[in-house]
Amino acid sequence: MKADRRKLFQKPWEFREAALIALTLNAVGFALQYASGGSGVTMPEWPMNAITLTLSACLILAVGLGYRNNRAVAWMGGIPLGLSLILTLAALSFIGGMVPQESGGNPTAVRLGLHSIFSSWPFALTVVIFLINLGLSLSWKLVPFSIKNLQFILFHAGFWIALSCGIFGSSDLQRLVVPVEEGQANSQGYIIKSREAKQLPFSVFLHDFSIEEYPPQLLLYDPKTDRLVMNSAQAIPEVCTGATAEWKGTKVVVTDFIASALPGKDGIPVPVDPAAGVPFAKIRITSYEGEGETWLSTGSPMLKPAAVNVNGFFLFMVAGSPKSFRSAVTLRDENGFEKIANLEVNKPVNFKGWKIYQMGYDEQSGKFSTLSLIEAIRDPWLPAVYLGFFMILAANALFFWNGIKKSGASS
Amino acid sequence: MIIDFTTAAYLSIAFWASGSMLSIAAKSSPALKKTAGALNLGGSLIMIAFIAIYWHALERPPLRTLGETRLWYAALIPLVGLLVEYRWKISWLKYYCMGLAAFFLTINLLHPEVFDKALMPALQSPWFIPHVVVYLVGYVLLAASSVAAWHNIFLSWRIKEEKSYDALSHYLALLGFVFLTFGLVFGALWAKDAWGNYWSWDPKETWAFIAWLIYLGYLHAVSHKINRLKLQWYLALAFIVLLVSWFGVNYLPTAANSVHTYQQS
């Protein structure tokens, strides 16, 4: 017997209707985006975003539980629509992953929001319908509660919370760059994009900024091809006393190394305080033209680097890349409460609801920089997003465990 | 270093190749089975030993460049094949896995990387190892899942029979998805500490999110009982998206803005 093919929009709705709805949604989204001149969606700020989100959550739960036997509602919270929206989100993210997300570019693409896809109308509409779909399916597993559904509930609720709070909370995120000079305090930050200055509820006093570098490196430059020559070991030689390197018949041995020195009389460097000097290395070069010994230095903004010409190639020493940089600061709020902290990359410090980060420094001056760029970030929605994340992780741990158990049964 | 990469790579490939040949021969003479297993395992152990030595010499975990992650991949994927054989008595998967491992080592042999100890401050974090290793295990499982799916497609096309290994590709995908999720969330938690944002739509993040959504889609398609061959095609092709998020991102027009390109040319 040949089964009749279901007509489009004949009930019950399935994947084709879901795909069509998702496509229509995006067509409307792109049209809105184009009509609005590419300005995108602006999220309401606190407390409007929280009110909107709470009301929406209550509404979804009420509709889900009140009309769970209604076909249209069942379809709205069903897998066909869910899967279509997951793939739509993937497709929109694909645009975001292919088209550089920055200002500028083809005017039509800009107006369609292709360069700012994640704040565009089609993305926002898809997320809204996705949250409804996810929320409805969640409501049916929440009531009546059963421990069997725990994994489902944790994953879907976690995703709902992380996604909704991440997006609705983005308007309350404050991110300010605070430049501070050594020995000075600053309580003004600015927004990177708009350069708009903002007053912080605390000040940052910088005692000291310091950089630790990796050892300097030896490089051989070929001026004819404008390229660096790779040595026989396929490694960038680090400079320390006794280090050796070899490039096609040219052998280099470091016979002496001073991490911080300044040029003295007769060209012999004199060791000085690490804050004032630059690395110097005495090297012995052996090639088919003979043997010679000379001093190399990396140079600094104040000092010309010393390189050496070896048979038409230039051998020089460059300062190592920064290994770590840190700022010793005192944070002080309006009531005089103080906190002494060491700011370092990957080690932010909490202060009065803000997270304070070591962001950068004056890269032109390198390790001589007396300027530290501090970043102050306030994200009041973070705990909610993290709650979502941890629920997702817990759900996946359960998923893993059940998967392992079931896979044993199926074999 | 005690052992250089070229020697270690050739040695591993030789172990896998001879182990595979012995495994095939062991079908008729089971006495060879143990030796074959030892050789297959040996290939991965050599890679693991090399990674350990390399780690020591670099003074940082060898997880920064794509070439370094390929080493881990090459060491781990044959282990998945061998585990599947041990657990479910399915022996064909390991050949594909060792083939893939040899392929990744060959890429590294053809494009030797510069030995560079430097690790930028943003990468110096307790999250570094869990984030990357969890991802690698996920990639390895999903690669194996994709291989199993191709095998299933091949079986249904050649033999036209229902007997296939759908459960295998499914459970590998399920486990892979779990690792992918952990990798993604660990990455978000780390990003908050390093850059102040748990999510910033960096190209690598975006692609990792796409790959995650694609496998999320698979799990929903499964629970909606979609035609089994369609699912195998889905799994077989989904891995391509994962490859883009692993390697491809560096070659896309968006790569210039990525904070995830630690490659030095």
Q: pLDDT tens digits for B201-225?
A: 999 999 999 999 999 999 999 988 8
Same domain for A316 and A286: yes
Of A281, A303, A320, the position where a domain reaches its end is A320
Same domain for A222 and A126: no
Distance (Å, whole) CA A127 – CA A139:
18
Name chain A contacts of B117, Cβ cutoff 8 Å. Answer: 214, 238
Residue A293, token pair as written in the block: 């010994």
Same domain for A275 and A150: no
Q: Which of residues 94-113 of B touch A (CB under 8 A)?
A: 112-113
Asked whether the predicted pLDDT for residue B264 surpasses 60, the reply is: no
Do the Cβ atoms of A322 and B214 come within 8 Å? Answer: no
A98, A175, A396 ranked by CB distance to B253: nearest: A98
Looking at per-residue pLDDT, the higher value among B228 and A394 belongs to: A394
Helix axes B228-246, B166-195, angle to 10 degrees: 30
Into how many domains does chain A fold?
A: 3
B6 touches chain A (CB under 8 A): no
Same domain for A121 and A41: yes
Name chain A contacts of B121, Cβ cutoff 8 Å. Answer: 322-325, 344-346
What does the pLDDT look like over A255-310, one tens digit per residue? 999 988 888 888 788 998 877 888 899 999 988 878 888 898 888 877 888 888 88
Distance (Å, whole) CA A338 – CA A353:
14
Do the Cβ atoms of A389 and B189 come within 8 Å? Answer: yes
CB B13 within 8 A of CB B5: no
Distance (Å, whole) CA A172 – CA A47:
9
Q: Is residue A75 part of a domain?
A: yes
Of A274, A294, A320, the position where a domain reaches its end is A320
Same domain for A306 and A340: no
Query: Tell me, what's the pLDDT at A4?
Result: 58
Of A320, A338, A369, the position where a domain reaches its end is A320
Instruction: Name the amino acid, one letter, at A299.
Output: G
Query: Tell me, what's the pLDDT at B261?
Result: 64
Same domain for A158 and A20: yes
Whose tokens are 């140079």? That residue is A299
A346, A385, A386 ranked by CB distance to B193: nearest: A346
pLDDT band (50, 70, 90) for residue A206: very high
Distance (Å, whole) CA B32 – CA A152:
47
- Proportion of chain B above pLDDT 90, given as a percent: 71
B196, B223, B224 ranked by CB distance to A355: nearest: B196
Name chain B contacts of A90, Cβ cutoff 8 Å. Answer: 210, 213-214, 217
Query: Tell me, what's the pLDDT at A49?
Result: 95
pLDDT band (50, 70, 90) for residue A409: low
A90, A235, A397 ranked by CB distance to B210: nearest: A90
Distance (Å, whole) CA B124 – CA B70:
20
A96, A214, A234 ranked by CB distance to B115: nearest: A234
Residue A249, token pair as written in the block: 């018949």
What does the pLDDT look like over A337-377, one tens digit per residue? 999 999 999 999 999 999 999 999 998 888 889 999 999 99
Query: Tell me, what's the pLDDT at A347?
Result: 95
Query: Tell me, what's the pLDDT at A2?
Result: 47
Q: Which of residues 138-177 of B touch A (CB under 8 A)?
A: 167, 171, 174-175, 177
The full 3-state SS of A360-376, as one line of letters, equals EECCCCHHHCCEEEEEE
Averaged pLDDT for residues A178-202 = 94
Q: Is residue A6 part of a domain?
A: no
Long-range contacts of A43-49 (CB under 8 A, 24+ apart): A43/A167, A43/A168, A43/A170, A43/A171, A44/A171, A45/A171, A45/A172, A46/A171, A46/A172, A46/A380, A49/A168, A49/A169, A49/A171, A49/A172
Looking at per-residue pLDDT, the higher value among A124 and A248 belongs to: A124
Asked whether the predicted pLDDT for residue B227 surpasses 60, the reply is: yes
Same domain for A78 and A44: yes
Query: Tell me, what's the pLDDT at A237?
Result: 83
Name chain A contacts of B128, Cβ cutoff 8 Å. Answer: none
What does the pLDDT look like over A366-386, one tens digit per residue? 888 999 999 999 999 999 999
Query: Tell me, what's the pLDDT at B160?
Result: 64
Name chain A contacts of B206, Cβ cutoff 8 Å. Answer: 93, 96-97
Residue A239, token pair as written in the block: 């400079």
Chain-wide mean pLDDT for chain B? 90
Query: Tell me, what's the pLDDT at A301?
Result: 76
Do the Cβ atoms of B118 and A214 come within 8 Å? Answer: yes
Instruction: Quote the ipTM score.
Output: 0.92
Averaged pLDDT for residues A97-117 = 88
Query: Tell me, what's the pLDDT at B1?
Result: 62
Do the Cβ atoms of B253 and A175 come within 8 Å? Answer: no
Distance (Å, whole) CA B232 – CA B218:
10
Shortest distance, CA A335 to any CA of chain B (angstroms) = 26
How many pairs of residues across A and B have Cβ atoms under 8 Å apart?
135
pLDDT band (50, 70, 90) for residue A39: confident
Do the Cβ atoms of B196 and A175 come within 8 Å? Answer: yes
Asked whether the predicted pLDDT for residue B36 surpasses 70, the reply is: yes
Most confident of B27-36, B86-95, B157-166, B185-194: B185-194
Computed from CA positions of residues A160, A162, A165, A168, in that sequence, does the dihedral angle turn out positive or negative? negative
Same domain for A393 and A366: no
| CB neighbour class for B50 (10 Å; exposed up to 12, middle 13-18, buried from 19) | buried
Q: Residue A75: phi, psi to the nearest 5?
A: -70, -40
Q: Is residue A367 part of a domain?
A: yes
Distance (Å, whole) CA A101 – CA B254:
8
Q: Which of residues 181-240 of B touch A (CB under 8 A)?
A: 181-182, 185, 188-189, 192-196, 198-199, 201, 203, 206-207, 209-210, 213-214, 216-217, 220-221, 223-224
Q: Is residue A10 part of a domain?
A: no
Q: Is residue A4 part of a domain?
A: no
Q: Are strands A278-287 and A269-271 parallel, antiparallel or unpaired?
A: unpaired
Looking at per-residue pLDDT, the higher value among B86 and B2 belongs to: B86
Same domain for A131 and A28: yes
Distance (Å, whole) CA B157 – CA A273:
75
Query: Tell me, what's the pLDDT at B97?
Result: 94
Q: Is residue A5 part of a domain?
A: no
A405: domain range?
15-172+384-410
Q: Residue B259: phi, psi to the nearest 5?
A: -85, 0
Q: Which residues contact A81 (CB under 8 A, 6 or more apart)?
A: A18, A21, A22, A75, A129, A133
What does the pLDDT look like over B85-136, one tens digit per residue? 988 888 899 999 999 999 999 999 998 888 888 888 988 999 999 999 999 9
Same domain for A166 and A58: yes
Q: Is residue A3 part of a domain?
A: no
Same domain for A238 and A279: yes
Same domain for A262 and A160: no
Averaged pLDDT for residues A203-211 = 95
pLDDT band (50, 70, 90) for residue A408: low
Distance (Å, whole) CA A131 – CA A14:
19
Looking at per-residue pLDDT, the higher value among A164 and A224 belongs to: A164
Residue B170, token pair as written in the block: 């499914």
Do the Cβ atoms of B254 and A101 come within 8 Å? Answer: yes
What does the pLDDT look like over B40-71, one tens digit per residue? 999 999 999 999 999 999 899 999 888 999 99
Query: Tell me, what's the pLDDT at B186?
Result: 97
Do the Cβ atoms of B196 and A348 come within 8 Å? Answer: yes
Shortest distance, CA A234 to any CA of chain B (angstroms) = 5
Chain-wide mean pLDDT for chain A? 90
Query: For A166, which residue in chain B has the nearest alpha carbon?
Result: B199
Q: Is residue A400 part of a domain?
A: yes
